[in-house]
Amino acid sequence: MPHKPIIAVYPGSFDPVTHGHLDIIMRSAGVFDELVVGVGLNPDKRELFTQQERLELIAPHIRKLANVRAEAYTGLTIDFVQRCRASVILRGIRDAADLNSELQQANLNRMVGGAETLFLSTSDQYALTSSTYIKQIYLMGGGNMQRIERLVPPNVARALATKLGSGRGGIVRRTGIRRRRRSRRSSA
C-alpha cells in the first residue's frame, strides 16, 4: 500500500523562537514527512515581535531542513491544520503544567477537527526555557548577550537587544511597561 505522507503542524506564538522550540523542530523533522511551524496570534499574550518578525527569526534555522517550513496564521489552530492538510498537531511538553493545559485542547482538536496531537518532551537542558521567561529576564535588567544566548540563538538575541535595549532601561522605554503598571495602579 502506498505510504500516505504524514503532515504535522507545530503551532505556537514563538515570540521569539528559543533553543527549546528549535530542539523540538529538529528532532521532529525526522519523524514526519512534512512539518509546518505555525506562527499564530494568541489573544491572551501581548506580542513583542510581529508575526512577520517571528517568521524571519525562525527562517535561518529551518533553511536546511527540506521538509520543514514556517507559516503565519490567524484564527483557530485547527482551521490552519486543516488548510495544511495535516493530520497531526505537534506540541512540546516541558513539565506537568504544560501537559495539564494541553490535554483538553488535544481532546477538543481530535473531536472537532479529527487531528491527533502528539507530544514531544523537551530535552533536559531546555526544560525551563520559555519565551515569556526570556522577556522577563530583560524586564529584570538581565538582558546581556552571554546570558541570553544560552536560551536563544544569536539572531534572536540580537533582535531582542534591538527591540528592547540591553536591560531594564530599554524595555521600560520601548514597551511602556512601566506606563501600563502605573496606570493600572492609579485605576485600582
Q: How far is CA 110 from CA 18, 78, 83, 104, in A?
A: 28, 9, 16, 10
Q: Does 16 bind ligand ADP (CB under 6 A)?
A: no
| Among residues 129, 138, 148, 170, the one that binds ligand ADP under rule CB under 6 A | 129
Nearer Cβ to ligand ADP (13/51) = 13
Binding residues for ligand ADP, rule CB under 6 A, total: 17
Min separation Cβ 165 and ligand ADP, Å: 21
Binding window for ligand ADP (CB under 6 A); candidates: 29-37, 66-74, 86-94, 169-177? 86-94
Interface residue with ligand ADP among 67, 130, 155, 166 (CB under 6 A) is 130
Cα four-point dihedral sign 112, 52, 144, 141: negative
Q: Which residues contact 89 (CB under 8 A, 6 or more apart)?
A: 8, 9, 10, 11, 77, 81, 106, 109, 115, 116, 117, 118
Tell me how far CA of residue 59 lies from CA of 54, 79, 162, in angstroms.
9, 23, 18
Of 23, 11, 28, which Cα lies nearest the Cα of 61?
23
183 binding ligand ADP? (CB under 6 A): no
Q: Is 51 in the site for ligand ADP (CB under 6 A)?
A: no
Residue 13 is a binding residue for ligand ADP (CB under 6 A): yes
Residues that bind ligand ADP (CB under 6 A): 12-14, 18, 20-21, 24, 91-92, 94, 98, 122, 126, 129-132
